[in-house]
Amino acid sequence: MIPKRQSHRYFLFALFLFMLLATIFSPLKAIDKKPLTHDVYDTWKSIQRPQISPDGKWILYLETPQKGDAFLVVKNVDSGKTFRQLVGFSGDGTSAHTAAKPKFNYEATHVVFMISHSKAEVDSLKKAKKKSKKKKIKKMGILDLVSGEVVVVDSVKSFSLPEKNGSWLAYLKEAAKDTSKKKDKSKAKTEEKKSEEKNKKKKEKKDGTPLIVRSLKTGAETKFQHITDYRFTKKGDHLFVIISDKKKAGDDGVYDIGLGETVSAAQPILTGKGHYKKWATDKNETYLAFLTDRDDFEADTPTFNLYGWKIGDRTATLWVSHKETKNFPAGMAVSDKSGISFSKDGKIVTFGVKEIPAPEPEDSTETETAKFDLWHWNDPYPQPQQKKMAQRVRDNTWESVYFIKSKKFVKLADEKLPDVLLTPTGKIAYANNGWPYAKLVAYDGSYSDVYIVNPKNGSRKLIKQKLYGRASISPNAKYAYWFENGDWFAYNIKTNRTVNLTKGLGVRFDLEDWDTPNPARAYGIAGWTDGDKSILIYDHFDIWQVNPDGKNARCITESFGRKNNLSFRYVDLDREKDTVDPTKPMLLKTVNTETMASGFYRDKVNGNALPEKLFMSDAGLGRRIAKARNADRLMFTYSRFDQFPDLRISDLNFTIFKKVTDLGAQMKPYIWGYAELRNFLSADGKPLKGILIKPENFDANKKYPLMVYIYETLHDGLHNFRNPAPGTSINPSFYVSNGYLLWEPDIEYDTGYPGHDALKCVLPGIHMLIREGIVDPKRVGIAGHSWGGYQIAYMVTQTNIFAAAESGAPVSNMISSYDGIRWGTGMVRQFQYEKTQSRLGASLWEVPMRYIENSPIFWVDKIQTPLLIMHNDKDTAVPWYQGIEFIMALRRLKKEAYMFNYNGEPHGLRKRVNQEDWTKRMFQFFEHFLKDKPAPKWMTDGIKAWEKPAPKKK
């Protein structure tokens, strides 16, 4: 028997223990957190443009709010030492994270970056109404990673660092403005001060655009005037500059600045009045090539010539001139519209040639002429597409080559074969010529004739006719290869023999879940092994090594992927190498196709060992996996719906694994959600997957309102982290935080009836969740944009399960849309309905009833679901008259519907103010129908055109 005093102590202890356990294990723990609000968006930060230093000891990234000041963060991954520097305002169309362009120098002793206006400065300019249409002048920051000191330089246009030398920095200052014509309103200004300012302005004007070369070791700077362009050699032992001095004709030209312990004076490579542009060096930096019109600068129509300089020689040499070069085509000249490049061995230069334009007539008086477009039935492309192509065609140049040693010029391309490319080796050139099949692009697909071109004489050989897609060339230029009808083919350029590489291997190399009428795409290739000895080809899961003669094919991952539902994809960590070494380990990015877990395995082309597991996590890997240039260190991210994609550092074995950022901390105050992968069956019994997202305080005994979001296949986004943000579509994090379940089902299609296919995939998943007792069947909403918007517009004509639906930029009438134009590209829309996303599989005249049956416009009278539509008047993907047809039909039949047209916006919203407005209104719409919240005024009363402010007069 326990004594009375002790029993009291036991009671108090038990009570304390019970309360402690109740606190720890309470299912209502998350109730202390608050739901996300629209006010969160602006300050929500993300990681932009992360980099790892060449030595692997430092990382940098831009910590960027959606609307506010962005900061450059530089962190030592071993010591944790961190530097933060303001780089400017991001938001309202301004992107400091794009403009900052931070870079480590080669030795990782410094970080150089650009600085834009801060939010306070932007607000001040707006308040003062001094917002200039001219490009804002930026500053440059130089961060010393040893001392932490930041040197800020005003009025910097651009900067450059040598790729493999950490000693030097070059930056171009903004040209000084000539303000001498501005009137001075100060009456008290003295003659002495006026004279002083006048002299200062004269000096600034004379100095022009200065280039500063700075030693990052000593801080010493050397100035060079009137620079228009500049570039380092990779080793940083030379800095080439172009000088353009309008005052001194003799100073124009290309110069070499030698860089050793000190900065040498600029030595002329080639000078003379004219323009100098489009320069390049070969891989070993033996030669510098550039274009100039100095030899013909005074002519009515100046023409360019190609010059080359062997680095270290006294002066440049004329390589190609339309006046002096043998076999140069008459009426043409070297073009300044295309770039210059060298073959890998530095023996051949490629460039473009173009017809010399006729001189402008002296009498430039214009007579008025009729203005029109001729839509010709037999044109290769319709007029809108021609207009999109017009400038590119006008600027089109014919690929040509110059052999440096033999001084031989060869023109490779012409009007019959316009798109010729020299391979990096310089051994052959090739072309994918789509012009004979240009009309087919409108309704069938993209086809090419494949040619091999001899760069020594320009002779051509047709090796493949009417290929669906394009062919490529192996790294060592021994083979052309392509994918056709589910198989890979290789053409031996020496023997003229084509081989089917994958026939009879027993697995599919085209996408197994392909569901559009056009031919299925390939899974792709990992690359070629050294010397073009074999090609590494992906199937759904594994990697195959196949010799280009079609023999000795083997699965280098030993079918381990297929047996274990693992998809292996090669991670190229050496961007300077264009082949795979079969003797060295390959890092494989790996995804479990059943669970969507991801990570890394390691394998080797040679040998029969099974792939070695390095790291797998129930999370999703980020797209970019970066390796330090000079160290065995990786930087990458992985995430889940409830886990922010913070940066992580690892060695190549993943034995050292470290999280080096913590922006996920901003999630802590808010109710978040967690995502589950669910399996279900379509109405036809097809196995499908979907993502169910629940709030972290989910109560299994409660019936929730359900939001459904659709497009096509979505389950591969299971582990995507969704930043709370305004936009064109619903934000899953926001809706789940505010008490909704969110369901994203996969949709699979046959050919002919995409709307009905969507219905057969979407409804069973919803019914599954209703049967589980977690969804209120009277509170189901659905949202989607573009193709998702079409499917919703169709489904609400067939079912009344939805209490409310949002349909963004929907096609409502496939008949009127079929012959329309995608104004973004100028292409006819027919291809979309016959061969691609709309999946009808035939023309309007072959299957007219399909176009009617799949068009929501013909079934509007069946709709009983309140609809919210957005279709903007500058939509270049889906003509916005599709939205007009839809809303007008709904209006005629007295169906409750609302359509927002954000003036001047394209297919998806771009302006943040419109994103914010639409996000709030869409939420109000669903809150009213799914949670019985009061309808906002815009729903009850509308917004009349005369109630809005009158447009400002120009």
What pLDDT, on a 0 to 100 scale, did the predictor assign at position 576? Answer: 87
Q: What is the pLDDT of residues 472-503, one digit of tens each?
A: 999 999 999 999 999 999 999 999 999 999 99
The yes-or-no verdict on residue 95 having pLDDT over 60 is yes
Q: Which residues, in sequence order, are bridge partners of residue 695?
A: 673
Structure token pair of residue 852? 């009617």
Query: Distance between CA atoms of 354 and 332, rounded to whole angstroms?
Result: 5
What pLDDT, on a 0 to 100 scale, did the predictor assign at position 94? Answer: 76
Structure token pair of residue 750? 């046959």
Mean pLDDT of the chain: 92
Q: With contact defined as beta carbons under 8 Å apart, do 210 and 221 qualify?
A: no
Q: What is the pLDDT of residues 655-699, one digit of tens each?
A: 988 999 999 999 999 999 999 999 999 999 999 999 999 999 999
With tokens 């930096």, the residue in question is: 285
Phi-psi region of 272 (alpha: psi -120 to 50; beta: other; left: phi over 0): left
Q: In degrees rounded to 5, what are phi and psi of residue 98? A: -85, -40
Local structure of residue 33 (DSSP, 8 states): S
The yes-or-no verdict on residue 864 having pLDDT over 70 is yes
pLDDT class of 10 with cuts at 50, 70, 90:
very low
Q: What is the pLDDT of residues 343-358, one digit of tens each?
A: 999 999 999 999 998 8
What pLDDT, on a 0 to 100 scale, did the predictor assign at position 184? Answer: 45
Q: With contact defined as beta carbons under 8 Å apart, do 711 and 784 qualify?
A: yes
C-alpha radius of gyration, the chain, whole number = 33
What pLDDT, on a 0 to 100 scale, did the predictor assign at position 763? Answer: 98
What pLDDT, on a 0 to 100 scale, did the predictor assign at position 921? Answer: 98
Q: What is the pLDDT of residues 247-298, one digit of tens each?
A: 776 789 999 999 999 999 999 999 999 999 999 999 999 999 999 999 998 8
Q: What is the pTM of this model?
A: 0.90
What pLDDT, on a 0 to 100 scale, did the predictor assign at position 188? Answer: 45
324: number of Cβ within 10 Å: 10
What pLDDT, on a 0 to 100 scale, did the predictor assign at position 950? Answer: 85
What pLDDT, on a 0 to 100 scale, did the predictor assign at position 366? Answer: 67
Q: What is the pLDDT of residues 368-385, one digit of tens each?
A: 889 989 999 999 999 999
SS3 assignment for 278-324: EEEECCCCCEEEEEECHHHCCCCCCCEEEEEEECCCCCCEEEECCCC
Q: What is the pLDDT of residues 652-664, one digit of tens each?
A: 999 988 999 999 9
Neighbouring residues of 946: CB distance < 8 A, sequence distance ≥ 6 = none
Higher model confidence: residue 892 or residue 98? 892
Neighbouring residues of 682: CB distance < 8 A, sequence distance ≥ 6 = 688, 748, 760, 761, 764
What pLDDT, on a 0 to 100 scale, did the predictor assign at position 144? Answer: 97
The yes-or-no verdict on residue 1 having pLDDT over 60 is no
Do strands 94-95 and 103-104 pair parallel, antiparallel, or not at all (unpaired)?
Answer: unpaired
Nearest in space to 594 (alpha carbons), one of 679, 515, 510, 513:
679
- CA–CA distance from 717 to each of 477, 665, 692 (Å)? 38, 22, 11
* 882: Cα separation from own chain's centroid: 28
* 17: Cα separation from own chain's centroid: 55
Phi-psi region of 550 (alpha: psi -120 to 50; beta: other; left: phi over 0): left
pLDDT class of 196 with cuts at 50, 70, 90:
low
Please state the rounded mean pLDDT for residues 926-954. Answer: 92
The yes-or-no verdict on residue 189 having pLDDT over 60 is no
Local structure of residue 35 (DSSP, 8 states): -
Q: How many CA atoms lie within 13 A of 327 on its CB side?
A: 12
Phi-psi region of 904 (alpha: psi -120 to 50; beta: other; left: phi over 0): left
Query: Distance between CA atoms of 62 and 95, rounded to whole angstroms?
Result: 11
Q: Which residues, in sequence order, are bridge partners of residue 71?
A: 63, 86
Please state the rounded mean pLDDT for residues 186-192. Answer: 50
Q: Using a pLDDT cut of 70, give the percent of the chain over it.
A: 92
The yes-or-no verdict on residue 543 having pLDDT over 50 is yes
Neighbouring residues of 475: CB distance < 8 A, sequence distance ≥ 6 = 424, 425, 527, 528, 532, 578, 579
pLDDT class of 29 with cuts at 50, 70, 90:
very low
Query: Distance between CA atoms of 236 and 780, rounded to whole angstroms?
Result: 63
Q: What is the pLDDT of residues 356-415, one digit of tens each?
A: 988 776 665 667 889 989 999 999 999 999 988 888 888 889 999 999 999 999 999 999
Separate counts of helices (H) and strands (E) for the chain? 15, 56
Structure token pair of residue 557? 């991952």
The sign of the dihedral angle between the CA atoms of 758, 764, 768, 769 is positive
Nearest in space to 65 (alpha carbons), one of 663, 546, 776:
663
SS3 assignment for 194-221: HHHHHHHHHHHHHHCCCEEEEECCCCCE
Residue by residue, DSSP assigns 79-128 as: T--EEEEEEEEEETTEEHHHH---EE-TTSSEEEEEE---HHHHHHHHHT
Of 24-33, 66-75, 418-427, least confident by mean pLDDT is 24-33
Q: What is the pLDDT of residues 823-839, one digit of tens each?
A: 999 999 999 999 999 99
The yes-or-no verdict on residue 238 having pLDDT over 60 is yes
Q: Using a pLDDT cut of 90, give the percent of the chain over it.
A: 83
378: number of Cβ within 10 Å: 5
Structure token pair of residue 3? 């004594």
